[in-house]
Amino acid sequence: QKEVEQDPGPLSVPEGAIVSLNCTYSNSAFQYFMWYRQYSRKGPELLMYTYSSGNKEDGRFTAQVDKSSKYISLFIRDSQPSDSATYLCAMSGPDDYKLSFGAGTTVTVRA
Amino acid sequence: EAGVTQFPSHSVIEKGQTVTLRCDPISGHDNLYWYRRVMGKEIKFLLHFVKESKQDESGMPNNRFLAERTGGTYSTLKVQPAELEDSGVYFCASSPRENTEAFFGQGTRLTVV
C-alpha cells in the first residue's frame, strides 16, 4: 500500500467550474500538508501549505485537511485554462522533513 | 529573488558514464533536498542537507550516488557509474528551516542509454 494515494486522473472540466482534488494517506504522524502545481517540464510550484487539520483559503484556492479521516482536498474555484497542470499533494511529519508525494492528478480546464 | 536553479536541465549519457547534477538553492536557505521521479512513479526523497552537513541520506538508492554541499551553498549530485534505471527527473528543493515551505527547482531530466 502506498503511503499517499492520489487519483492520477486525468480530470477535464469546463472553464469556470470548480475543480476538486484529493489525497488519502496512511501515516497518522503526518502534520504538514502541501499542494504543488506542476506545469509540463517545470518543477513543482508550492500552492498551499497547511499545518494539522482545518481549512485554508488563498484566492481561488481552498485546502482542507481532515486528519481523523486521513484525507486532504484542494478546491479551485472559477477554474481557468491557465490552471491546466498536474497537481501534487505532499505531506510530512513533525520530526520528518521528508516530503511524501502523491502520484499527481492531471487537470485540463477547457476554454 | 532568484529561485532554486538546477543545471543542466537535460542530460543524456551512456550507461557506465558519470554525470554530475548541480543545484543552487535560494540564498539564505540552510536546508537543501534532493528528490527524484522515475517514470510512472511518485517523486521520492533522496537526501537532505542542513548547511553543509548531510542530515538524512536514507533515500539514496545505492553507493553509486554521491551528494555534496561544500560551504553550505550549492550542491552537486554525482552518479557514477550511471545505470539505465537511474533515468528520471532529479529535483532539488530548499527551505529556510525544517518543516517549512520547500521550493523546488525546475529539475534535471537524466536519460541513461
- The string of pLDDT tens digits covering residues B75-88 is 999 999 999 999 99
Per-residue pLDDT, B57: 94
Contact A94 B99 (CB under 8 A): yes
Average pLDDT, chain B: 94
Taking contacts as CB-CB distances below 8 angstroms, the residues of chain A near B36 are: none
Whole-number Å distance between alpha carbons of B94 and B29: 6
- Closest to A98 (Cβ–Cβ): which among B45, B104, B109? B45
Per-residue pLDDT, B1: 63
Per-residue pLDDT, B94: 94
Contact A98 B4 (CB under 8 A): no
Taking contacts as CB-CB distances below 8 angstroms, the residues of chain A near B56 are: 97-98
Flag whether pLDDT at A63 surpasses 90: yes
Per-residue pLDDT, B99: 67
Contact A44 B48 (CB under 8 A): no
Taking contacts as CB-CB distances below 8 angstroms, the residues of chain B near A102 are: 42
Flag whether pLDDT at B38 surpasses 80: yes
Cell of A73: 482536498
Distance of CA A103 to the CA centre of its chain: 10
CB of B48 less than 8 A from some CB of A: yes
More confident residue, B2 or B105: B105
Say if strands A11-14 and A105-110 run parallel, antiparallel, or are unpaired: parallel
More confident residue, A53 or B32: B32
Flag whether pLDDT at A105 surpasses 90: yes
Per-residue pLDDT, B58: 93
Distance of CA B95 to the CA centre of its chain: 14
SS (H, E, C) A38-105: ECCCCCCEEEEEEECCEEEEECCEEEEEECCCCEEEEEECCCCHHHCEEEEEEEEECCEEEEEECCCE
